[in-house]
Structure 1
Amino acid sequence: MTTAAARKQRIEFGDFQTPDSLALAVCKRLTALGICPDVVIEPTCGVGAFVVAAVQSFPTAKKIMGFEVNSDYLETSRLRLQHELESGRVYLAQADFFATRWQAILEQASGALLVLGNFPWVTNSVQSGIGGVNLPRKANFQHHNGLDAITGKANFDISEWMLLEVFRWMEGRQGDVAMLVKTAVARKVLAHAQRQGLALASSCIIKIDAKKAFDVSVDACLLVVRFNNAVVATDEYQVFDNLESTQGQRVGHRLGLSIADLDAFDAHVALVGKSPEKWRSGVKHDAAAVMELTRHGQTLQNGYGETVDLESDYLYPLMKGSDIGSGKGWRKKYLLVTQRYVGESTDSIRTRTPKTWRYLQKHADILGARASSIYIKNPQFSVFGVGTYSFRPWRIAICGLYKSLDFRLIAPIEGKPVMFDDTVYYLSFDEEAVAQKVFALLHSDAAKELLSSLIFWDEKRPVKASILNMLDWSLMQEGKIKSPQQSQLPLGICA
C-alpha cells in the first residue's frame, strides 16, 4: 500500500491500534471493577490486542470473539491467537461494523456480555472530506435541527454512533461496555443515554494518556458502562485520573445539564438561574485582513500591509481573544464596526465618512465573498454581534478558548468602548462602579466554583456563553460570599 493510501486508510478508519500493554492494563482495571464476562466481543479488533488481553484476563469467559474489516489485520490476529482458535475459545471473522447483522451474533452469546475495544477516532465530516465510506447510514440520530447542522453541531465522531449502537445491543440483557474513546465522545453518549432513560446501572470515565499510547494530542479515556435492567438508571458517574486511580470525581446530570463536578454544583446550585446582564460574544466579520487594522506610529495598516487613511467614526479599539486570555494589554489594534445593530443600513457611511466608504468599496469583492449565508441576507459590509450593548463603555471579558476563569475588567480606550473578536464573551456596563462590583462578584469563590462545575476543561472552547449566562450574580449578597483580596484581581486596562 502506498504511503498516501495508508495515510487515507488511517484517517478513514480512525486507525489507532491499541498497544498490548494498554489493552492488558484496561482488562486488569475491568477485573478490579468486578467485571467477569461469559462472552467477550471486540467489534473492531485490529491486530488483536484486546482479544489477546481478554484471553489472559478473563479465564472464565467461554467465548471471545473478534471482528475486523481489514483482512491484513485479521491475519495478524489469527497468527497471534492460533492456539486459542484451535481450541475453539476464540473466534475471529472479517466484518464491517456498519454492514454486520449483529443481532444474529448476539443471539448466540448467552450469559454476561462484555463489549470491549477501541472504536475509530474520526468524525463524519473528516470522512466526507477524504471520500471515505466507513460511515453509518445517514440519519439524524442526534435529532439536531437545521441551524445546528449549519453551525457544525451535526458533525459527530463515528465512535459516537457506534457506541450508541452497542448500547442498543445491551437492551434487555446484563453486561458491560468498555471502550477507548475521546473523552468528549464519552460524555456525549452518557448524556444521550441519560436523556433516553437507558438502564445504565453504573458508568465511569477513566482518563488515559493518548499521547503516550497513540502519539495523538487528544483527551481520551476508557469509558466503562454497566447494564442491568433490574437496577434503576443512575444520572451520575465518576471520572478517574488514570487506570490505577481509585478516587474519582462525581460527574453527571442535573436540571438537564451535564455537570463536570457534582459536589461543587450541589454546593452552589442556589446561584443557578439567569444572568442579570446577558453575556455576549464579540464582533463577527470573517474578514480580518480588511476589518482589523493596526496603528504603526501615525499610520494605520490592514492585514494586507496596506497603509490606510480612515475617519475615526467607525474605528474602535480591538482586543483579540488571545489578548484577553493571556492578560496582555491593548496592542493598538482597531476594528472597523460598520453598524450599531444587526441589519442597520450601511448607506450612511458613504456621506458621513467618504474615505471609509472608498476603503470598503476597494475591498468589496473580499467582503462580498464571505461564505456565510448571514452576510448575503444583510446590507453590504455587514458585521454581526453588535447592538446597544456593544457601545457601553465598561466591559468584563473572558476568552472562551482558554482553560481558566480569568475575567478581565476592560476600561474605554481613547474615549471609546473596546471591541472583541468572537472568541470573547463579555458583559457591558454604563457605569464603572457597577462594572467593578460585578467584577468582584465574578471573582468570588462561589461564582468560580459554580462555573467550574459546569465546564469540561478538555473541550476546545471550554468557556461558553450558555454556561456564563446560568450564573445569577444578583443572588450573591455582600457579606455572604468569600471574595479574594482586591490586590489579587486582574487590573483594568486604561488608555
Structure 2
Amino acid sequence: MKLTISKLIEEARAFCKNESAINHEQLVGITDGKAVGTYIEHRFKEYLKNKYEVTIGSSAKGVDLPDDNINTDIKVTSATKPQSSSPFKNFEQQIYGLGYNLLIFVYKKNDINEKCYLGFKHCIFLESEKSGDYGLTKVLRKMIELGANETDIIEILKDKNFPNDYQSLKTLAKKIISNPPKQGYLTISNAFQWRLQYNQIIKLKDEIDGVYTNTNYNEKELEDYQTPLSITEEICAYLKNNLKINPTVIIEPTCGIGNFLRSASKVFESKELYGIEIDAEKINAVDRSIPNLNLINEDIFKFKFDMINENESYLIIGNPPRKNNTNFINNLHGKTNCFNMSEQIILKIIEIFKNTKTTIAFLCKTTVARNIFKRLIKNKIPYNFIKQLTFNFSKISKMNKNSCLLIIQLGEKQLPNNICEVSEFSNPDKILHKICFEYDSNSNNDKLIDIDGKCEIDWKLGVKHDCAKIMELTCKNNQLMNNLDEKVNIETILLYPLLKGGDLKKPLINETSKYIIITQKKIKQDTTYIKTKAPKTWEYLNNNKTYFDNRKSKMYKRTPAFSISDIGDYAFKKYKVGISGFNKEPNFTLVYNEKPVMLDNSCYYLSFDDFDEAYITLLILNSQLVKKFLKNIAFLDSKRPFSKAILKRINIGKCLKILSFADLKKIEKELNLNDYIMPKKFLKYKNKYCKTND
C-alpha cells in the first residue's frame, strides 16, 4: 500500500499511542536529546516501512520522506524546550515556508525504576506553506490587509535583517503584495542552520489540521508529581504512631508509581492493598513485590469501588493530581463545577466511604483542604476528627509549597464546634491556628465575641494595570523614572501618588515617592481624551504600547487602549483605610494626600471623603477585637490571607456595640498616634454606623 498524507497523519497518531505505553529500556539514563530524537525517528521510519511503500530519505538529502506526494521532514523535540535546527536555502523561506511539510513529535521522557517511558504530548503535521515564521507572516498579512505599499514592506524586511540589496527587497515586496503568504506557525531564528522553535505551533495547535495531543496525565500540566519515599514513609509512620490508625485495607487512588503503597505495606499489617491509576506508564512501574497488592488500570472517576465491606477499616491515602483546569477535567471525566482535580477526587472518596470506618489522608493544597472541610460542614457529613498538617514540600520535591496533609476520620458523630486545627507536620502537637466555618460565638472554643456580618462600607481592590514597567514611576532627584530605569517627561494631570502592599507599614501615611499613571476614571472609559488633555503622556503611552498589547489578562480584550481595572469614583476619594492582602498580620493603614493616593491590587481598602470617619475606622480595624476575629476566620497560610471575602465580614455596627470611646483612645495610644479623637466625633460616627434596632 502506498503511503499518503492522510495515512501518514493517522499512523503518526497511532505510533504516539503505541510508543507511550511501552518501556524503552535502551534510553534509560540517556540525557542527550539528539540521541533520543534519532531513536524515535528511526523507530517511526521502520514502523512506516513495515506497512507501506515509502521512500526513506537520507540525511544528506535533508528530507526524511521525500516522495513527491509526501515531501515531509520528521522533527523530534523534547517538551521541555521544543525546538530543532534546519538547513535553509534563502531567507524567503521565512515568508513562504520551508518548501516541505513537517511532522513534529513532542515527547516527555520519564525514567522510573530502571524503566524509560516516552509520553508523546503532541504530534503535529504542518503543511509546507504554513511553515513560515509566525511573527513575520502575521505582520505582513496585517500590513497588506491595511493597504501597505512596497516601501512599507521593504522597511519591515530590513527590520527583520533580510540580507538583500534594495532591488532584491523591492522585488520580494512586490511578490508579497501580489501573493500574500499564508499564516506561518514556526518561530525561525537566523543562524548557520535556522533554529526552529515550536512553542507557537503547540500554543496554536487548534488552528492546524492533523494534530494529535496525548491526554494522558502530564506531571507539569496536571501538577501530578510522584511523592518521594522519604515523605510517604514519614506520613505512614505518623498515622500509625501518633493517630493509632490500624487499617485492614489500604487504597491509593491515582497511585502513580506506588510510593504510598510501598511505604504502607511496610508500616501497616493490612490484608489488602489497592492501587488505582489511569496512566499505564506509571502503573507498569509499581513494585510488584508488595504483598497483597491489587493494581487497577482505570480512571478513578469511573471506578466503582465494589470491594467495600462495612466490616473493614479503610485507609485511603495518596497525593492526587491537583491542576486547576476546569476544561481538562470536564473533557476527560465529564465532570462539572470542578476547579481542582484533587478536590474532586477527595470529595468522591468522602461520598463513597462516608458510612464506613475510614481514615482519609491526602496531600493537597491548603485551599483544597479548606474547601473539603467547608463541604463536610455544609453537607453535615459525620466525622470523628479532622486535621491539617502544613509542610513546605517545595524543599524536597516539585510540589506547591502551600501544601498540607489533610487527615479526616469519617465516623458516626459530628463535632460540635466546626473547627479544624492546623499544625506543622514537623511539630504536630503545636497548634498554629484554627479554621472555623459557620462562625458561632456560642460554640467557638476561643470564646470570640461575635462581630461577624456584613461590612457597612464596600471593600475595594486596588487599581490593576498589569504593566508596572510603564505605568508605575518613581521620583529620583526630582526626575520621574519608570521601572525600565528610563527618564519620563509627562504632565502631572494623570499622575497620582501610589502605595503598594509592602508600603503599608505605619498606621498613617501621607507621603510617597511612587506614582502611577491613571488613564481612566471608570471601567472602559474612552482614553483618546488623553491625546489632547495630556499629549506628552499620550506619546509616552503609545511609545510603549507593546507592553500593553502583551498583557495576558482577558479583561483588557476589546477595551480602549491603555485600559486599567478596579477603578471608579471610590478610587478618587481623598482618604483610604487599606491593608495588604499578603500580610499575615491584619494591620491597617490610613493613607491620604492632597491628590488621592492610589493603592495597587495587592491591597484592599475602604474609601472616605471625611478624615474623621476614616480615622475612627482605622482605630476600630486595628483593635484586638477585629484582629482576633480576622485571624480566626482567615486562612493564614493562603497567598492572600485577608481577602475581600474575609474583610467584608467585619460588621462595624457590632464592633461599636463592644468598643467604647476609652477603647479607641487606648488603641490610638498603642499605635503611637497623636491625641486626636474626641467624644463628639466618636458619637457622630457611632450614630451613623451603630443602629439601635440591631
TM, length-normalised to structure 1:
0.78
* Counterpart Cα distance in 2 of 1:212 and 1:348: 51
Larger radius of gyration: 2
Residue equivalent to 1:467:
646
Distance 1:21 1:368, change over 3 A: closer
Q: CA deviation at 1:171?
A: 4.2
* Counterpart Cα distance in 2 of 1:218 and 1:389: 36
Q: Deviations over 1:465-489 (max 9, x none)?
A: 2211211234333247487654542
* Counterpart Cα distance in 1 of 2:536 and 2:397: 55
- The reply on whether 1:302 has 2:496 as its aligned counterpart is no
Match of 2:566 among 361, 365, 385: 385
Q: Which stretch shifts more, 399-408 or 234-243?
A: 234-243
- The reply on whether 1:375 has 2:556 as its aligned counterpart is yes
Residue equivalent to 1:62:
271
Q: Which stretch shifts more, 6-15 or 192-201?
A: 6-15
In 2, are the aligned partners of 1:198 and 1:233 still within 8 Å (CA)?
no
Amino acid at match of 1:253: F
Structure with the bigger RCO (C-alpha within 8 Å, sep 6+) is: 1
Residue equivalent to 1:478:
660
Residue equivalent to 2:423:
240
Match of 2:578 among 369, 394, 397: 397
Residue equivalent to 2:466:
286
Q: Deviations over 1:402-433 (max 9, x none)?
A: 32222222231xx2121121111122223333
Amino acid at match of 1:183: T
Distance 1:282 1:208, change over 3 A: closer
1:212-291 matches, cutoff 5 A: 214=397, 218-228=401-411, 230-232=412-414, 235-242=418-425, 245-246=428-429, 248=431, 250-254=434-438, 262-264=444-446, 267-269=448-450, 271-291=451-471
- What is the DSSP-based 3-state SS (H/G/I as helix, E as strand, rest coil) of the residue aligned with 2:616? helix
Residue equivalent to 2:252:
42
Match of 1:449 among 628, 642, 662: 628
Q: CA deviation at 1:390?
A: 1.6
Amino acid at match of 1:334: Y
Q: CA deviation at 1:188?
A: 1.6
Q: Deviations over 1:136-176 (max 9, x none)?
A: 5142234xxxxxxxxxxx4x2x3222212212321443322
- The reply on whether 1:194 has 2:404 as its aligned counterpart is no
Aligned positions, number? 456
- What is the DSSP-based 3-state SS (H/G/I as helix, E as strand, rest coil) of the residue aligned with 2:516? strand
Identity in percent:
25
Match of 2:303 among 85, 91, 101: 101
Amino acid at match of 2:620: L
Q: CA deviation at 1:398?
A: 1.4
Q: CA deviation at 1:28?
A: 4.2
Distance 1:191 1:135, change over 3 A: farther
Q: Which stretch shifts more, 293-302 or 310-319?
A: 293-302
Amino acid at match of 2:536: K
Distance 1:65 1:466, change over 3 A: closer
* Counterpart Cα distance in 2 of 1:52 and 1:372: 44
Residue equivalent to 2:337:
141
Residue equivalent to 1:145:
none
Contiguous gaps of at least 5 residues in structure 1: 85-89, 143-153
- The reply on whether 1:51 has 2:261 as its aligned counterpart is yes
Distance 1:29 1:369, change over 3 A: closer
- The reply on whether 1:92 has 2:301 as its aligned counterpart is no
Contiguous gaps of at least 5 residues in structure 2: 1-27, 32-79, 81-107, 111-118, 120-217, 675-694
Residue equivalent to 1:16:
226
In 1, are the aligned partners of 2:462 and 2:601 still within 8 Å (CA)?
yes
Q: Deviations over 1:382-403 (max 9, x none)?
A: 3222222222222222111232
Distance 1:352 1:189, change over 3 A: same
- What is the DSSP-based 3-state SS (H/G/I as helix, E as strand, rest coil) of the residue aligned with 2:260? helix
* Counterpart Cα distance in 2 of 1:280 and 1:411: 16
Distance 1:72 1:116, change over 3 A: same
In 2, are the aligned partners of 1:124 and 1:135 still within 8 Å (CA)?
no
In 2, are the aligned partners of 1:318 and 1:419 still within 8 Å (CA)?
yes
Amino acid at match of 2:438: R
* Counterpart Cα distance in 1 of 2:488 and 2:223: 49
Residue equivalent to 2:613:
434
* Counterpart Cα distance in 2 of 1:369 and 1:21: 41
Distance 1:136 1:491, change over 3 A: farther
* Counterpart Cα distance in 2 of 1:371 and 1:209: 30
* Counterpart Cα distance in 2 of 1:254 and 1:459: 19
* Counterpart Cα distance in 1 of 2:529 and 2:392: 57
* Counterpart Cα distance in 2 of 1:34 and 1:455: 31
CA RMSD of the aligned region, Å?
A: 3.7
* Counterpart Cα distance in 1 of 2:236 and 2:666: 43
Distance 1:450 1:373, change over 3 A: same
- The reply on whether 1:123 has 2:333 as its aligned counterpart is no
Q: CA deviation at 1:330?
A: 5.5
Q: CA deviation at 1:297?
A: 2.7
Q: CA deviation at 1:364?
A: 4.7
Amino acid at match of 1:95: N
Q: CA deviation at 1:337?
A: 1.2
In 2, are the aligned partners of 1:48 and 1:77 still within 8 Å (CA)?
yes
